[in-house]
């Protein structure tokens, strides 16, 4: 492998690792606040005065679990996978999913996902030469 391809692969691989670390950090922050919200909604659910209050708090509880905690747990899992320099197809898939999450939740994650996608060709070429 030529020196430039090797350096471009190393740069792309280090960016994938940084993307994984950022994914873990923001996933952990999101899980922390999600669990805090779940605790507060659980307390409110237990002290609801009427059935309509209880149904409302239950919907908030379930919605927070599905739309806040589960995506952030995914970010932790994806970040842990990206740190280990995975197969290029898996890396691209995780990066695209992080790109979608970044649009909705986190612009910093969005920026790193875009940069990782622009360097995915260098990563794929270097990964193939590294395996041989």
* pLDDT confidence of residue 90: 93
Region 76-87: mean pLDDT is: 93
Can you tell me the distance from the alpha carbon of 87 to that of 37, in angstroms, rounded to the nearest whole number?
36
Region 42-50: mean pLDDT is: 86
28 class by beta-carbon count within 10 Å (0-12 exposed, 13-18 middle, 19+ buried): middle
**Tally of structural domains, the chain:** 1
Is the pLDDT at 128 greater than 80? The verdict is no
For 23, the domain range is 3-131
Is the pLDDT at 5 greater than 80? The verdict is no
Is the pLDDT at 64 greater than 70? The verdict is yes
Is the pLDDT at 22 greater than 70? The verdict is yes
pTM score > 0.75 for this model?
Answer: yes
Q: How confident is the model at residue 122 (pLDDT cuts 50, 70, 90)?
A: confident
Let me know: does 6 contact 124? Beta carbons within 8 Å: no
Give residues with Cβ within 8 angstroms of 54, minimum separation 6: 45, 48
* pLDDT confidence of residue 7: 86
Alpha helices (runs of H) in 47-118, residue ranges in sequence order: 51-64, 70-83, 88-104, 107-118
Region 34-38: mean pLDDT is: 94
Please state, in angstroms and as integers, the Cα–Cα distance from residue 96 to each residue in 6, 11, 41, 107, following that order. Answer: 24, 19, 32, 14
């Amino acid at each position: 492998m030529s020196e430039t391809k090797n350096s471009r692969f190393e740069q792309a691989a280090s960016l994938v690792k940084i993307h994984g670390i950022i994914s873990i950090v923001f996933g952990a922050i999101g899980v922390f606040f999600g669990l805090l919200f779940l605790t507060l909604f659980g307390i409110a659910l237990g002290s609801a005065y009427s059935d309509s209050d209880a149904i409302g708090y239950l919907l908030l509880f379930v919605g927070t679990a599905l739309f806040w905690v589960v995506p952030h747990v995914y970010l932790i899992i994806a970040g842990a996978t990206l740190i280990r320099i995975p197969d290029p197809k898996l890396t691209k898939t995780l990066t695209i999913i992080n790109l979608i999450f970044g649009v909705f939740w986190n612009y910093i994650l969005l920026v790193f996902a875009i940069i990782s996608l622009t360097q995915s060709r260098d990563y794929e070429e270097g990964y193939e030469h590294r395996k041989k």
